[in-house]
């Protein structure tokens, strides 16, 4: 099995280290995110190609461009789904009886995640997939409606606020299913968060981005995964 010295990460704002600064009322980056800290502990060179707001469709496009430009590592970590399952909430507020679709329909999400896995393998890299950190439905609902969107209309369309969590959970299930079907190692971030008695304490005020404590947890999970692999064969995934 090929030894791993470098890893490329394609994902969204979670792996980029984006956090919401309540005092400034805007998003910013942690000085050093979980993936960066974990890669140092494991002695790996990290190429972090994650982008805020990135869906699997955008991620696949970035991946193809990176590979065409010569981007090459022994392994690739894929982290998608949080943006894919999201809706245009302004559109929902305007038309609560309409047929609204997520940014990436579930079937297409799985199809493109499988395409990413295939592209990684074709490049001679080893794919790894992470599950989605959980969101806090009530906190997220309060956050995206704070600017004046009709809470009544959106809640009418949702049925209940916890539908936001359940819908997000379906995309996490799709990630798990894809990993199993493709025989890809899975790093279960979601279970680590849900094992905490108050996982919401690990999330920013927006209810969707892990805060500094959340990133510390992600770091521990990534390191545990890497160290477990190293025990079996030095830096091999």
The neighbour count for residue 64, using CB atoms within 10 Å, is: 13
Position 234 pLDDT exceeds 50? no
Provide the token pair at 61. 């496009």
Output the CA torsion sign for 90, 93, 98, 101.
positive
**Structure confidence at residue 121 (pLDDT):** 97
> 6, 76 in Cβ contact below 8 A?
no
Q: In terms of Cα–Cα distance, which of 102, 98, 8 is closest to 55?
A: 102
**What would the mean pLDDT of 136-146 be, rounded to a whole number?**
98
Which 3 state secondary structure label does DSSP give 61? helix
- The fold for domain 6-232 equals Rossmann fold (3.40.50)
pLDDT digits over 9-24, tens only?
999 999 999 999 999 9
Q: Which residue has the tokens 């079996």?
A: 232
- The rounded distance, in Å, linking the Cα atoms of 107 and 219 is 30
Provide the token pair at 224. 């545990």
Position 235 pLDDT exceeds 90? no
Output the CA torsion sign for 138, 139, 144, 150.
positive
* Cα distances (angstroms) measured from residue 44 to each of 38, 48, 123, 126, 129: 9, 12, 19, 14, 17
> 54, 83 in Cβ contact below 8 A?
yes
**What would the mean pLDDT of 74-101 be, rounded to a whole number?**
97
**Terminal alpha carbon distance of the chain:** 8
Domain range summary for the chain, segments of one domain joined by +: 6-232
> 199, 1 in Cβ contact below 8 A?
no
Residue 72: pLDDT band (50, 70, 90) is confident
Provide the token pair at 184. 């890809």
**What would the mean pLDDT of 183-200 be, rounded to a whole number?**
97
pLDDT digits over 213-233, tens only?
999 999 999 999 988 766 665
Residue 1: pLDDT band (50, 70, 90) is very low
């Amino acid at each position: 099995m090929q030894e791993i010295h470098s890893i490329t990460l394609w994902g969204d704002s979670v792996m980029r280290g984006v956090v919401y600064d309540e005092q400034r009322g805007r998003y910013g980056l942690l000085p050093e995110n979980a993936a960066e800290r974990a890669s140092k502990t494991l002695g790996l060179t990290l190429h972090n190609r994650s982008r805020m707001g990135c869906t699997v469709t955008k991620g696949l496009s970035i991946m193809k461009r990176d590979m065409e430009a010569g981007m090459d590592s022994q392994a690739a970590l894929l982290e998608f789904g949080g943006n894919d399952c999201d809706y245009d909430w302004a559109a929902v507020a305007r038309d609560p009886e309409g047929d609204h679709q997520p940014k990436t329909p579930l079937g297409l999400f799985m199809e493109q995640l499988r395409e990413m896995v295939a592209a990684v393998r074709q490049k001679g890299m080893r794919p790894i997939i992470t599950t989605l950190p959980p969101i806090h439905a009530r906190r997220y609902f309060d956050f995206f409606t704070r600017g004046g969107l009709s809470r009544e209309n959106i809640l009418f369309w949702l049925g209940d606020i916890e539908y936001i969590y359940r819908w997000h959970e379906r995309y996490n299930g799709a990630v798990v299913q894809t990993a199993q079907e493709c025989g890809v190692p899975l790093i279960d971030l979601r279970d680590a968060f849900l094992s905490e008695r108050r996982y919401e304490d690990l999330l920013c005020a927006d209810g969707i981005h892990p805060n500094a404590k959340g990133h510390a947890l992600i770091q521990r999970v990534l390191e545990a995964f890497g160290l477990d692999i190293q025990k079996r064969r030095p830096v091999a995934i």
